[in-house]
Amino acid sequence: MKELFDTLKKKALPAIWAQGVKLAREDSVSLEKESDGRLDLRVRVPARSAYLTVSLFTRDLEWTCDCPGPADPCVHVIAALLAAYAVIELVEGIGLWLAKRWGEYFAMVVTSLGLPYEIYDMTSKITVTRVIFFVINLALVLYLVITRRLFGVRGGKDAYEARLKDESILQATIAAAAAAAEPASLGRGERAGPGASR
Ligand SMILES: [Zn+2]
């Protein structure tokens, strides 16, 4: 993605680039399909209330757009590139962020945010569903505290960092990035590789 970004940045006329930035900011790009080394995006053209299809080939460093314009790369390709790039950078950023120590606390705090509400819910009326949700949420928080060794649990920070050094740091980052790309999995699962001091 970075290579395609640099290639297009170099090739695009400054005016086209600027227009592409504007178009991307107008939220006119949506991702259609993503496959290995290829992104298909839809770009809304404000003036024509029509859609154009842009394909970006991140590995072959190529691009296509079905507009008839003479510019190559055209405004639509730039807009699609910027939108895709922003998303990928964001996902990578979140992954790196969650891989950091305080990111672990953040995940735990976010997970525990529902607890007060669930407790409040049970004070008004106790139902099986409410209890189950509360127990699941509490278990998730405890799971994060124990597996991430938060608040000094199981050796705390030192043990945690020793384990991180044992594991490939890269693997941890990839796992975090994958978890970030999959917001549905609240528990974020286990990191790749067995915990060294389990
Ligand atoms: Zn175009």
Domain count within the chain: 2
Boundary-marking domain end, from 91, 120, 148: 91
- For ligand 1, the distance from its centroid to the CA atom of residue 77, given in whole angstroms, is 6
- For ligand 1, the distance from its centroid to the CA atom of residue 35, given in whole angstroms, is 21
- For ligand 1, the distance from its centroid to the CA atom of residue 90, given in whole angstroms, is 25
The C-alpha atoms of residue 177 and residue 51 are separated, in whole angstroms, by 31
- In this predicted structure, what is the pLDDT of residue 96? 72
The model's pLDDT over 50-63, given as tens digits with 9 standing for 90+, comes to 899 999 999 999 99
- For ligand 1, the distance from its centroid to the CA atom of residue 79, given in whole angstroms, is 9
Residue of 73, 113, 74, 91 whose CA lies nearest to 34: 91
Backbone angles phi, psi at 197, to 5 degrees: -115, 40
* 25, 77: one domain: yes
- The answer to whether position 195 is within a domain reads no
The model's pLDDT over 121-158, given as tens digits with 9 standing for 90+, comes to 888 888 888 888 899 889 988 888 888 788 877 777 77
- For ligand 1, the distance from its centroid to the CA atom of residue 36, given in whole angstroms, is 22
35 — alpha (psi -120 to 50), left (phi > 0) or beta?
Answer: beta
Q: What's the domain range around 146? A: 100-180
* 106, 77: one domain: no
- The answer to whether position 65 is within a domain reads yes
- For residue 73, whether the previous peptide bond is cis, meaning omega lies within 30 degrees of 0, is yes
Does residue 59 contact residue 37 with C-beta atoms inside 8 Å?
yes
Collect residues with CB below 5 Å from ion ligand 1. Answer: 65, 67, 74, 76
**What integer is the mean pLDDT of 12-40?**
92
- In this predicted structure, what is the pLDDT of residue 183? 54
Name which of 39-43, 48-52, 99-103 the model is least confident about: 99-103
* 79, 116: one domain: no
- The answer to whether position 190 is within a domain reads no
- For ligand 1, the distance from its centroid to the CA atom of residue 92, given in whole angstroms, is 28
**What integer is the mean pLDDT of 103-121?**
84
Q: What is the CATH number of the domain that holds 87?
A: 3.30.160
Instruction: Fill in the amino acid letter for 107.
Output: A
> Taking 80 as the threshold, does the pLDDT of residue 49 lie above it?
no
- For ligand 1, the distance from its centroid to the CA atom of residue 114, given in whole angstroms, is 46
- For ligand 1, the distance from its centroid to the CA atom of residue 69, given in whole angstroms, is 6
Backbone angles phi, psi at 148, to 5 degrees: -90, 0
* 59, 17: one domain: yes
Does residue 43 contact residue 56 with C-beta atoms inside 8 Å?
no
- In this predicted structure, what is the pLDDT of residue 94? 75
- For ligand 1, the distance from its centroid to the CA atom of residue 94, given in whole angstroms, is 31
